[in-house]
Amino acid sequence: MEKPFAITLDVGSSLANHTGSWRTKRPLYVDRLPPCNNACPAGENIQGWLFHAEAGNYEAAWRVLVQDNPMPAVMGRVCYHPCESSCNRGQFDEAVGINSVERFLGDEAIKQGWKFDAPPKASGKKVLIVGAGPSGLSAAYHLARLGHQVTIFEAGPFAGGMMRFGIPKYRLPREVLEAEIKRILDMGVVLKLNSRVDNILDSMKSAGFDAAFLAVGAHIGKRTFIPAGSAAKVLDAVGVLHSMEGEEKPMLGRRVVVYGGGNTAIDVARTAKRLGATEAIIVYRRTREKMPAHDFEVEEALQEGILIKWLSTIKQVSDAGALTIEKMALDDKGFPQPTGEFETLESDSLVLALGQDVDLSLLNGVPGLEIKDGVVQVSPALMTGYPGIFAGGDMVPSERTVTVAVGHGKKAARNIDAWLLGSSYEAAPKHELANYEKLNPWYYNDAPKTMRPMLETLRRQSTFDEVQGGLDESSAQFEARRCMSCGNCFECDNCYGVCPDNAVIKLGPGKRFEFNLDYCKGCGICVSECPCGAIKMVPEEV
């Protein structure tokens, strides 16, 4: 029979010694996977770089961050931060402002002129990348770090892809984008602008490339049939945003209607307002709850005076630009159905924001490829059906965001490297997830999330100045300190202080702790008192 628990509470008595034989379970220090890391499409070690940021060691934090993502100043502005949606702190008070700290580190790196470490000895292998968007640039960076010679062919006049041609300047200043692209090119990556690839096999063969990564963005706007007069001005959203990078800005008129419900529709409507439109109206066939645009972007648009007509569809455009709008109603299953009720909406131009397609003509004649629903089918390693040709970003089935594209670039680079070496890349197994139930939040104090400053509304309506500001150093450090270190010991000494048997041994700063199992009786107090859930009880080994 197990001896009574109470007799071990006097740690100074002889009865407290050598109690290990009493246990049926013993404590074990573990490293669990933080939910923020798990949710990041770019695979960032978020908890790792927050640790350095909270200590004020910003360059160390930045260097941990760029092991996975070479463009933190960009990502700190355009990422929709699924990490924050998964943050355990959100169940305690508010999620940690991870994206805000990432932007601070990215901006600090630009200000301080931090550079990437020089690549190792050259491998002698040459890799062609098609497309200088987020996925292509990410792959180029990671491949260069692995010692490969990388050349990017970009069909357009500038690098950046949809970061430049799909995201307005008020969200992503071009000097920030340029700085982070330059840092990648400084590693020895060769960028060839205005270099369209018409046939990937010919391009690889002509310059002796050993592998290729296809990262062509979705630059072709989708169309839909809307009866329109010959004089009606109907444009596509991608074309409008593309033209914003030229010297001559698009002439949209005073009354602009945008048809669609995604982030691109929001961006075009907000751009039209800044170009001088007195009315910028979005027509969307469903409700706000079903709108694919992110809610914070919708809210910012409404603040700037953008109007949205919900449950509406465009049936016809007259020569004079008048739009015939049909009202919709939700059926029993929540799908919009026509009602036969119409109204007229005056407009100078109609912009279609109905999604984008990828130009796949460079793959004509390549054997073994499978194309389905307008995208290339790839293996888990992102390799197409043709050996040595990989693809990612908008070209493959996935969510089309900058963060996903950056993650694809990293994943492709690792698999390309392995393929060039005649092996396969095996990702390390993931640790057990550190969910909120494994934490003991009593340890933490309430600390509301630090909000980023916003440009005043009047300036937002008339200029392309950046809408959302960044955190200053003290706010960024405060935000980093809100991290709860989910699943990983941060040496708070709680287990050391509460153990009734003095069975916890401190190993020194940065080395954490270990258990003296000769003295541990398996009471589990250390587990219940560990704030970050870095200890668990396991069955005693026989």
From first to last of its 542 residues, what are the pLDDT tens digits of the chain?
333 333 333 333 333 444 556 678 999 999 999 999 999 999 999 999 999 999 999 999 999 999 999 999 999 999 999 999 999 999 999 999 999 999 999 999 999 999 999 888 899 999 999 999 999 999 999 999 999 999 999 999 999 999 999 999 999 999 999 999 999 999 999 999 999 999 999 999 999 999 999 999 988 888 888 888 777 899 999 999 999 988 888 899 999 999 999 999 999 999 999 999 999 999 999 999 999 999 999 999 999 999 999 999 999 998 888 999 999 999 988 899 999 999 999 999 999 999 888 999 999 989 999 999 899 999 999 999 999 999 999 999 999 999 999 999 999 999 999 999 999 999 889 999 999 999 988 888 888 899 999 999 889 988 999 999 999 999 999 999 999 999 999 999 999 999 999 999 999 998 999 999 989 989 999 999 999 999 999 998 75
- Give ∠ CA 118-119-125 in degrees, rounded to 5: 155
Q: Indicate where the chain has its CATH 3.50.50.60 domain(s).
A: 126-219+358-420, 221-355
Q: Which residues contact 246 (CB under 8 A, 6 or more apart)?
A: none
Interatomic CA distance for residues 271 and 126, integer angstroms: 41
| Crossing angle between the packed helical segments 473-481 and 46-54, to the nearest 10 degrees | 120
Q: Which residues contact 270 (CB under 8 A, 6 or more apart)?
A: 168, 170, 280, 300, 301, 304, 306
Q: Indicate where the chain has its CATH 3.30.70.20 domain(s).
A: 5-31+489-539
In this structure, how many other beta carbons lie within 10 angstroms of the beta carbon of residue 470? 19
Q: Assign domain 126-219+358-420 to its CATH superfamily.
A: FAD/NAD(P)-binding domain (3.50.50.60)
State the fold for domain 38-114+434-481.
Answer: Fumarate Reductase Iron-sulfur Protein; Chain B, domain 2 (1.10.1060)
Of the CA atoms within 13 Å of residue 494, those in its CB half-sphere come to 20
CATH number of the domain located at residue range(s) 221-355 in this protein = 3.50.50.60
0.85 exceeded by pTM: yes
Q: Indicate where the chain has its CATH 1.10.1060 domain(s).
A: 38-114+434-481
Tokens 């589990």 — which residue? Answer: 524
CATH number of the domain located at residue range(s) 5-31+489-539 in this protein = 3.30.70.20
End-to-end Cα separation, the chain, in angstroms: 17
Amino acid at 407: G
Tokens 């996925």 — which residue? Answer: 135
Residue 55, both tokens:
């200590």
Tokens 């888990």 — which residue? Answer: 380
